[in-house]
């Protein structure tokens, strides 16, 4: 390889890393917005109490979150980059509000501890997904099918209120989102397109990647919290 070819390869690697940093930067921005919204709710216990005591509001928020995910995943190509950014951050804000009741159930110390536990595990999984030479497509497909089963089981347990089934689902959820995190990290590396450098399409691809990782992190955190979080008396 001559000097010019080596320079081109180095430039391509640098641009690919820049795209990856953009994805993780937006994911971290989403987590920061969620955290800020949760702490704002916690600052006034009356807000959380009113939220929990208003089922229509809780269901409306969940429907809005689900709708935003589908809009971002299915219609982002029709959006401007600024609209995609706003939609992602707005989704993160809604998620922060919907997660705020966990402060009524678990101690603040255990929530912080599980958050850092999740961050460590998540970082290791992303590093593995980014560096491994093994194709994780089959792992991702299997995890996605298992996720559908987990959602169905969650709906069933909504009526059964089985502690044993909840315990099983929590462990299954950790395994599922562990696999999905590594898979998504690998998939995001493959999303980089040199022809889109500096364009709105690149930004929108980064938002999609950030959304996938954000969902993995939040769901992994919830599953770990259910197992390792210390409940309030």
Report the pLDDT value the prediction gives residue 4, as an integer from 0 to 100.
54
Query: Nearest 5 degrees, angle CA 133-CA 138-CA 141?
Result: 130
- Whether the Cβ atoms of residue 94 and residue 61 lie closer than 8 Å to each other: yes
**How many Å apart are CA 150 and CA 169, to the nearest integer?**
7
pLDDT grade, residue 51 (50/70/90)?
Answer: confident
d(CA 204, CA 201): 5
Q: CA quadruple 69, 71, 75, 78: dihedral positive or negative?
A: negative
Nearest to residue 113, comparing CAs of 232, 230, 31? Answer: 230
Neighbouring-strand partners of residue 231: 106
User: 107-147, pLDDT tens digit by residue?
Assistant: 999 999 999 999 999 999 999 999 999 999 999 999 999 99
Q: pLDDT band for 6, please (50, 70, 90 cuts).
A: low
The predicted-structure confidence for 162-218, as pLDDT tens digits, reads as follows 888 999 999 999 999 999 999 999 999 889 888 888 899 999 999 999 999 999 999
| Token pair listed for 21 | 């940093």
Q: How far apart are CA 16 and CA 21, in angstroms?
A: 9
State pTM to two decimals. Answer: 0.92
Q: On the CB side of 162, how many CA atoms lie within 13 Å of its CA?
A: 13
**Rounded Cα distance, 214 and 31, in Å:** 7
Taking a C-beta distance cutoff of 8 angstroms, is the pair 88, 211 a contact? yes
Domain spans in the chain, listed from the N-terminal domain onward: 3-228
Q: What is the mean pLDDT of residues 84-112?
A: 94
| C-beta neighbour count of 37 within 10 angstroms | 19
Which residue is associated with the tokens 């696999």? 179
């Amino acid at each position: 390889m001559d000097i010019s070819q080596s320079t081109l390869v180095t430039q391509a690697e640098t641009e690919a890393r820049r795209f990856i940093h953009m994805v993780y930067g937006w994911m971290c921005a989403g987590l920061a917005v969620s955290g800020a919204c949760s702490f704002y709710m916690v600052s006034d216990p009356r807000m959380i109490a009113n939220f929990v005591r208003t089922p229509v509001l809780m269901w409306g928020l969940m429907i809005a979150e689900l709708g935003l995910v589908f809009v971002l995943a299915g219609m982002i190509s029709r959006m401007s980059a600024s609209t995609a950014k706003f939609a992602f951050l707005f989704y993160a804000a809604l998620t922060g509000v919907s997660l705020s009741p966990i402060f009524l159930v678990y101690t603040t110390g255990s929530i912080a501890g599980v958050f850092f536990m999740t961050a460590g595990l998540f970082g290791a999984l992303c590093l593995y997904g980014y560096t491994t030479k093994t194709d994780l497509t089959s792992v991702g497909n299997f995890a996605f099918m298992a996720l559908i089963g987990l959602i169905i089981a969650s709906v069933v347990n909504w009526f059964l209120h089985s502690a044993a089934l909840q315990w099983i689902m929590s462990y299954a959820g950790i395994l599922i989102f562990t696999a999905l995190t590594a898979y998504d990290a690998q998939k995001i590396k493959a999303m980089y397109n040199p022809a889109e450098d500096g364009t709105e399409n690149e930004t929108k691809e980064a938002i999609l990647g950030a959304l996938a990782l954000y969902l993995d992190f939040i769901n992994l955190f919830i599953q770990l919290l259910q197992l390792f979080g210390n409940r309030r008396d």
